[in-house]
Amino acid sequence: MKITRVTPMVLGTEWRNLVFVKVETDEGIVGVGESRPPNKTSAVLGYLAESLPRYVLGHDPFEIERLTQRMFREDFGRAGEIVMTGIALIEIACWDIIGKALNQPVYRLLGGAVRDRIKAYANGWYTVERTPEQFHAAARRAVAKGYRALKVDPFGAGFYELERAEKNRCVALIEAIRDAVGPDVDILIEMHGRFNPSTAVDIARELAPFKPGWFEEPVPPENLAALKKVSDAIAPLGVPIATGERLHTPFEFRELFELQAADIIQVDPTHYGGLAWTKKLAGWAEAYYMLMAPHNVGGPVSTAAALHLAAATPNFKIQEHFNDFAEAHVKEAAPGVPEVKDGYFPLPSGPGLGIRLNEDVIRAYPQRELHFNLFTEDWHKRQAQIR
């Protein structure tokens, strides 16, 4: 079997562009990949335009390891977010092809299911005014959709520090969410790499009484020694540290693992070379007793891929999901992803990823010129600036 054609497509939404690839073969089997490159859509498309004829066309989709290693190494320059996203798009589509060729769901090709259902958490649910009353009502709505874990960044446009009044406001928002959902729903605190270490520690102490499930990316991702400083300081609070969505190669994770500066790894398979690379990382993380909670801000194909990975990963913890709180056409672009019920996804069904690409929907919502900026007021409403 050989890859004969790859067609990139972009689905525009209010705050993100989703890049799809349709990978066709000489045997008529078609696979699909997808990612959401944050503010880098055209860069990923440009990378694909150069790399597809060089590495992908004419390649056997069953030889995933050879294909991804060539894409990673043979351009000589260091791979980062753009390259690893491009690799992931093709790699995930290859797994879809293999599953369809063998009439098996992808998770069985990754070692088989180690669980019967996949725990989920909601994100993107708090697109309301930053008041306790509005966050309280939004949290109730998210729980009513079946979620038993919610992630939230209550920190506005905060960067490095927060004024006392703004800090009190953030505490009030988390207090309102806890009141809305009760004691049995996880509240996951997203910090988006906003703070310097002392501020991150101070905020963690303020929020610890509300029993958060984790503190995510408390400091920017470039300085893992700073993350270690925060991790050590808040360890007595008993709240784990989660991070990893902005680390894109195994070599970046090496330092994180050696420092043991986090408890939960949030690698994004669609920015980390795909499913095989992420499965290897999970095995490595398990040696440090770290759990996996893969980042997923993508659309239906990204979600399907994440669910197959989760099904077959022993140290998996919980899966992020946005699309129950997005425009309807996001799900319509690739139907087949199972729905969350009582806080869990059922196992995906195959063959392959178990989804079907709807190109008519993608054509109806073309790429938008967006700038999604987490350091502006009201970014949480998921309404990106249009350039």
Cα–Cα distance for residue pair 150/189, rounded to 1 Å: 9
Q: How far out from the chain centre does Cα 384 lie?
A: 19
Tell me which of 59, 248, 271, 295 is the catalytic residue. 295
- Give the three-class secondary structure for 6: strand
Tell me which of 59, 136, 192, 308 is the catalytic residue. 192
Q: How far out from the chain centre does Cα 332 lie?
A: 19
Contacts of 183 (CB under 8 A, 6+ apart): 211
Residue 136 is a catalytic residue: no
Cα–Cα distance for residue pair 307/313, rounded to 1 Å: 10
**What element of type H or E holds 4?**
strand 3-12
Burial category of 216 from C-beta neighbours within 10 Å (exposed 0-12, middle 13-18, buried 19 and up) = buried
Cα–Cα distance for residue pair 190/329, rounded to 1 Å: 27
Name the token pair of 369: 């010129």
**Sheet of 17-25: strands edge to edge?**
3-12, 17-25, 30-35
State how far the alpha carbon of 240 is from the alpha carbons of 120, 256, 378, in Å.
18, 14, 27
Closest listed residue to residue 82, CA positions, set 35, 40, 49: 40
**Are 166 and 158 within 8 A, CB to CB?**
yes
- Give the three-class secondary structure for 341: strand
Residue 248 is a catalytic residue: no
With b meaning 16 or more CB within 10 Å and e meaning fewer, what string describes 49-59? eebbeebbeeb
- Give the three-class secondary structure for 2: coil
Name the token pair of 321: 């999901």
Which residues does the annotation mark as catalytic?
Answer: 192, 295
